[in-house]
């Protein structure tokens, strides 16, 4: 029991918000407890892997999302964390067109950040709360979406070092929700210590 508790202990929280977000996100997460308690939530896995630690234009991560038990992720994105005056901004980038979904680490390491496709309007803005958590989301209707008849998408995020709460929803032009959870956020708990591996170029 003691060993299990240590393995899932959240990392220390740095005072600097940017370092705190980077530390809290790095590693593996899953929502198996939530999915077991409520079958309306799919069992998913999330992984944030640091990229290009030598760069000085923010903290870069490869973000992979997969169904629990699946061999390969169904979604891969690149995220860049940058400090804002009163918090942290997370910019979202798509991998280059034609980049294989199951590309190996060496292909990812060879990626040029200049070839990534930015997602304008889809940045997530996080702010530190009095309880030490970081909360935020996308701005208004700025993030476009064409998935399942949507016109725009909203992402709400909350971090506390042990959990990542994420609620992604798509809305049509009239503001009606057309995809995403209708009952609340997905709650991902840390599946182990932060990953030490890094993909370098």
What does the alpha-carbon distance between residue 137 and residue 103 come to, in Å, rounded to a whole number?
29
**Vertex 24, ends 21 and 28: CA angle to 5°?**
130
What does the alpha-carbon distance between residue 2 and residue 185 come to, in Å, rounded to a whole number?
30
pLDDT of 126-143, one tens digit each? Answer: 998 888 899 999 999 999
The encoded tokens of residue 183 equal 């009952």
Give backbone dihedrals phi and psi of 115, rounded to 5 degrees, phi first. Answer: -90, -5
Tell me: pLDDT of 37 over 50.
yes
CATH of the domain at 121: 2.40.128.590
pLDDT for position 35: 96
What does the alpha-carbon distance between residue 193 and residue 154 come to, in Å, rounded to a whole number?
29
Mean pLDDT on 46-72: 92
Tell me: pLDDT of 61 over 60.
yes
pLDDT for position 74: 86
Contact in structure between 62 and 199 (CB atoms under 8 Å): yes
Q: Do the domain assignments include residue 29? A: yes
Tell me: pLDDT of 11 over 70.
no
Q: Do the domain assignments include residue 6? A: no
Contact in structure between 45 and 29 (CB atoms under 8 Å): yes
CA 169 to chain centre: 15
pLDDT for position 197: 41
- pLDDT band for position 73 (50/70/90)? confident
- pLDDT band for position 182 (50/70/90)? very high
Task: Tell me how many domains the chain contains.
Answer: 1
Q: Do the domain assignments include residue 98? A: yes
pLDDT for position 161: 87
Which of 34-43, 72-81, 108-117 has the highest average model confidence (pLDDT)? 34-43
pTM (whole model) above 0.75: yes
Domain of residue 139: give its range.
13-190
pLDDT for position 199: 44
Q: Do the domain assignments include residue 2? A: no
Tell me: pLDDT of 152 over 80.
yes
pLDDT for position 71: 85
Q: Do the domain assignments include residue 137? A: yes
Q: Do the domain assignments include residue 27? A: yes
pLDDT for position 102: 59
């Amino acid at each position: 029991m003691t060993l299990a508790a240590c393995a899932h202990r959240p990392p220390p929280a740095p005072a600097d918000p940017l370092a705190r977000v980077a530390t809290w996100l790095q590693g593996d997460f899953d929502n198996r407890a939530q999915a077991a308690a409520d079958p309306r939530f799919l069992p998913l896995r999330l992984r944030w892997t640091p990229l290009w630690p030598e760069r000085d234009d923010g903290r870069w991560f490869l973000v992979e999302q997969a169904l629990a038990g699946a061999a390969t992720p169904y979604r891969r994105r690149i995220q860049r964390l940058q400090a804002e005056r009163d918090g942290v901004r997370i910019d979202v980038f798509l991998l280059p067109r034609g980049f294989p979904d199951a590309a190996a680490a060496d292909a990812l390491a060879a990626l040029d950040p200049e070839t990534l496709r930015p997602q304008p309007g889809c940045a997530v803005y996080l702010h530190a709360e009095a309880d030490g958590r970081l909360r935020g989301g996308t701005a208004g209707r700025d993030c476009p979406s064409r998935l399942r008849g949507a016109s725009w998408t909203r992402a709400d995020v909350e971090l506390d070092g042990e959990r990542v709460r994420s609620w992604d929803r798509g809305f049509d032009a009239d503001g009606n929700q057309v995809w995403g959870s209708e009952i609340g956020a997905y709650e991902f708990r840390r599946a182990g210590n932060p990953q030490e591996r890094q993909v370098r170029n």
